[in-house]
Amino acid sequence: MGNRKGTKRANGEGHIRQLPDGYWEARITIGYSKDGKQRFKTFTSKKQSTVIEKLNDFKANREKFEKGNVIQYSIKEWLNIWYETYVINNVKTATRVSYESIINNKLIPHIGNIKLVELNKYDIERMYNELIKSGRNDKKGGGLSVKTVKNIHLVLHKALQEAFEREYINRNPTDVAKVPTMKGLNLKKKEIEIYSKREQQQLIQVAKEDKIYGTVVIFGLYTGMRKGEILGLKWEDVSFENKTININKQLTRLKDYSSNANTKTKLFIQNDTKTSNSTRKIPMSNSLEILLKQQLEFQRINKERLGKLYQDNNMIFCREDGCYLDPDTVLEKYHKLTEKAKIKKCTFHALRYTFASRALESNISPKVVSQLLGHSSVQFTLDTYSHVLSELQISEMDKLDRYLNSIAV
């Protein structure tokens, strides 16, 4: 065992200790979970003085509320307290990272300096309008989508609702603030991207030449799975005996906001899917079975060739050395394949849309297609692919017309 020193304090004051790797850790109780277990906030650093400073700052901020000095608190201070106390240990990892990004990059820059007790609907609506016009922080610039602003509204509402329930504010201003809508902004819903049958075949032919990224693209066209779902698949999720594929996790790249993070982002297997409906089991077609067995043999050869250098994470789709495939790299390689196939450049989600369209065109019922895609309802599927169904209705009417003519006297 390495060196392990500790400085105990009274309950609620925190505990400081030196870890075996030489780092210092400060930990303080911040509440209890629903099952009665203690929840902690921890700070780590190479310096003891740094964790002591962080611990004292955290305690000082919390004491402002405990002493009833809420009137002096800013939105920034409350959001940080809310995040540390109510979010970190109560939501999924991906949700926590999403909330942290919204708080740090959207809410605090726009309304962080406003007093908690003074925030009103006009401040909030002004922020939403600014985000719609110029809320993007990336190289592309421009405004955020209505859907993204709605997600920001949801986070702010939850944070302020907690303040309201604690009687720090008289009411939650997000209850009366108007959230931008597509209709209100005179925006049309973006049409989904679908490859034609010819484009699909051209893409498949080119993708067959790439045993790693091309296989991912073909698998997307054969299953309609989301990119993260495909990259999160493990061999344990496949049953060749029952000819099924179990979709219950996803690979994603998350931002790491922790103070001791070595990198800004990290690849992470999230042991759940986008929604409860997205967790599903789909049948394995003959084409999929052949594709997966080829992938199994490809990996076997790589394992033998690399030996101990191969990192076996049991992933179906991975690099030659077994490591995770980076979602951004997959997208980049996919776009190069579309360029090589001389077809239009689309989002990766176009593979999912194309699968669904081909399924409906082949007379698979909308209910089954909805289940294969993991949609929340059949109605959502019908609304999303209404144009495909409209074309099918015309085709079916032509069949009916020919039949009626054949029996006409």
3-state SS, residue 70: helix
Which is higher by pLDDT, 9 or 336?
336
- Among candidates 318, 146, 314, which has minimal Cα distance to 236? 314
Give the pLDDT confidence score for residue 399 in this predicted structure: 66
CA torsion 191-197-200-204 (nearest 10°) is 170
Confidence of residue 190 (pLDDT cuts 50, 70, 90): confident
**Residue burial 127-139, b: 16+ Cβ < 10 Å; e: rest:** bbbebbeebeeee
Residue with tokens 């922790």: 258
* Residue-wise pLDDT tens digits, 343-397: 999 999 999 999 999 999 888 999 999 999 999 889 988 888 887 777 766 666 7
Tokens of 307: 């030996």
pLDDT (mean) for 324-334: 95
pLDDT at 36 over 80: no
Give the pLDDT confidence score for residue 11 in this predicted structure: 43
CA distances from residue 324 to 261, 268, 274 in whole angstroms, order as listed: 19, 9, 19
* Residue-wise pLDDT tens digits, 298-309: 999 999 999 999
d(CA 337, CA 358) in angstroms, rounded, equals 21
8 Å CB contact between 326 and 267: yes
Q: What is the pTM of this model?
A: 0.70
Residues in CB range of 313: below 8 A, 6 or more apart: 234, 322, 323, 324
Give the pLDDT confidence score for residue 363 in this predicted structure: 86
**CB-CB neighbours of 406 under 10 Å:** 7
d(CA 89, CA 102) in angstroms, rounded, equals 17
Is the CA virtual torsion 304, 308, 313, 314 positive or negative? positive
* Residue-wise pLDDT tens digits, 73-83: 899 999 998 99
